Amino acid sequence: MAIFAKLRESLKGVREKWSAGISRLFSSSKFDADFWDNLEEQLIAGDTGLDFAEETVEFLRKEAKSRNIKSPAELKDIFTARITNELNAVPGMGEPFSLSHTPLVLLMAGVNGSGKTTSAGKLASMYVAQGKRVIMAASDTFRAAAVEQLKIWGERSNVRVIAQGQGADPAAVAFDAWKAAETAKSDVLIVDTAGRLHDKHNLMEELRKIHRVLLREAGNDRLETVLVLDAVLGQNSVAQAETFNSIIPVTSIILTKYDNTAKGGVVISIARKLNVPVRYIGLGEGADDLNTFNPQDFASALMEVNS
Ligand SMILES: Nc1nc2c(ncn2[C@@H]2O[C@H](COP(=O)(O)OP(=O)(O)O)[C@@H](O)[C@H]2O)c(=O)[nH]1
Ligand SMILES: [Mg+2]
């Protein structure tokens, strides 16, 4: 329940700026002429994606007709259920990473500023709190500050960070870290990477190489390629997701900065486009601000306007 309260609080921006409008539409006691157009518009404005907006309006129209529903208010629960079902249709949605094969490697990918290092730190802190053995790898060797940032997170949770000098081969760092994690019988190895947009070709090659090395060492069962996406970017993060997925097979998503976004629908867009589960959402900058993503709670929190 505490988690739900926090989610509700963190979704304040989304509610005030986006879902309040939708909720208002569904609070009406009669269908006015513009209801369906307004609903479609609001869904698109909230970054749920064009397809979802159109299909949802179509679906609700049919439901209203076949169930002889006379007001938007009576449709609200059907709408909320549709969002939940849509998200739950993606296998693994909202489930934590499976630790049945260890060391589990979490390869953190994403553009600069999306929250990779922060999410790596949060995950480390979470696993340490669960009594797991964790190692982190500083494979963002592009900037010295990046290694320092990860080391600070490591010190906070008492987690060892494997690093080499600035400019070192990121794949070599990842390989060293894998060996260390194997030797130490770690449960989790979290690999932080660089994400420079201005240098797309190098980024692609670098990421491919890190992925190749880790896949070779850890195998499919022990490798999660985690795409870290900034929820604030809305439809742009959907495009990013597709780009990254064409470079390496993305197996999980962490959606960050949900506390800062005004549009909540991007999670639906991404889930549908990639059919990849959102495992966690970032709700702030602190170590504890990482939550599992529960579609049911999410849909409910979205539609709770007056709290
Ligand atoms: N409000 C908020 N800020 C976040 C979240 N995740 C990351 N940040 C901030 O976003 C900025 C970039 O994060 P960083 O982890 O350095 O991104 P990276 O370049 O992908 O490693 C930092 O200022 C973080 O504190 C989040 O869930 N909520
Ligand atoms: Mg970083």
State how beta strands 188-193 and 160-162 pair.
unpaired
- Do 281 and 289 contact (CB within 8 A), yes or no? no
68 three-class SS: coil
- Same domain, yes or no: 249 and 134: yes
Is 5 a residue whose pLDDT tops 70? yes
CATH number of 252's domain: 3.40.50.300
State how beta strands 223-230 and 278-282 pair.
unpaired
Distance 117 CA to ligand 2 centre (A): 4
275 three-class SS: coil
For ligand 1, is residue 116 a contact (CB within 6 Å)? Answer: yes
What pLDDT, on a 0 to 100 scale, did the predictor assign at position 1?
A: 46
pLDDT in tens, 13-43: 887 778 888 888 999 889 988 999 999 999 9
Distance 68 CA to ligand 2 centre (A): 53
- Average pLDDT rounded to a whole number, residues 267-292: 93
- Same domain, yes or no: 185 and 279: yes
What pLDDT, on a 0 to 100 scale, did the predictor assign at position 14?
A: 80
Computed from CA positions of residues 206, 253, 266, 69, in that sequence, does the dihedral angle turn out positive or negative? positive
Computed from CA positions of residues 195, 231, 227, 222, in that sequence, does the dihedral angle turn out positive or negative? positive
193 assigned to some structural domain: yes
- Same domain, yes or no: 43 and 178: no
CA 205 to chain CA mean position, Å: 23
Choose the weakest-confidence range: 60-74, 86-100, 118-132, 194-208: 194-208
What pLDDT, on a 0 to 100 scale, did the predictor assign at position 98?
A: 96
- Same domain, yes or no: 198 and 291: yes
Percentage above 70 pLDDT, the chain: 96
For ligand 1, is residue 118 a contact (CB within 6 Å)? Answer: yes
- Same domain, yes or no: 67 and 151: no
Is 306 a residue whose pLDDT tops 90? no
Choose the weakest-confidence range: 1-15, 77-91, 197-211, 225-239: 1-15
Contacts of residue 25, defined as CB under 8 A and 6 or more positions apart, other chains included, come to: 35, 38, 39, 42, 72
83 assigned to some structural domain: yes
User: Of 88, 123, 145, which residue sits at a domain end?
Assistant: 88
Distance 270 CA to ligand 1 centre (A): 19
pLDDT in tens, 211-226: 999 999 999 999 999 9
What pLDDT, on a 0 to 100 scale, did the predictor assign at position 16?
A: 79
- Same domain, yes or no: 276 and 136: yes
- Same domain, yes or no: 209 and 71: no
Q: What is the domain range of residue 220?
A: 104-295
What pTM value is reported for the model?
A: 0.93
- Same domain, yes or no: 136 and 190: yes
120 assigned to some structural domain: yes
Provide the pLDDT confidence category of residue 298 given band limits of 50, 70 and 90: confident
97 assigned to some structural domain: no
Percentage above 90 pLDDT, the chain: 68
Provide the pLDDT confidence category of residue 197 given band limits of 50, 70 and 90: low
Q: Cα–Cα distance between 280 and 93 in angstroms, integer?
A: 9
What pLDDT, on a 0 to 100 scale, did the predictor assign at position 165?
A: 83
Distance 284 CA to ligand 1 centre (A): 8
Q: Cα–Cα distance between 294 and 95 in angstroms, integer?
A: 8
Which of 116, 226, 285, 293 gets mutated to test ligand 1 (max ligand atoms within 8 A of its CB)? 285
95 assigned to some structural domain: no
252 assigned to some structural domain: yes
Q: How many CB atoms lie within 10 A of CB 121?
A: 26
Number of domains making up the chain: 2
- Same domain, yes or no: 166 and 284: yes
Q: Cα–Cα distance between 64 and 57 in angstroms, integer?
A: 10
278 assigned to some structural domain: yes
- Same domain, yes or no: 83 and 135: no
User: Of 56, 88, 120, which residue sits at a domain end?
Assistant: 88
User: Of 55, 88, 121, which residue sits at a domain end?
Assistant: 88
Q: How many CB atoms lie within 10 A of CB 239?
A: 12
- Which one is predicted more confidently, 261 or 191? 191
Beta-strand ranges (E) seen in the chain are 104-109, 134-139, 160-162, 188-193, 223-230, 252-256, 278-282, 290-292
CATH number of 56's domain: 1.20.120.140
94 assigned to some structural domain: no
Which of 118, 198, 261 gets mutated to test ligand 1 (max ligand atoms within 8 A of its CB)? 118
- Same domain, yes or no: 113 and 72: no
Contacts of residue 204, defined as CB under 8 A and 6 or more positions apart, other chains included, come to: 247
- Same domain, yes or no: 75 and 216: no
- Do 60 and 40 contact (CB within 8 A), yes or no? no
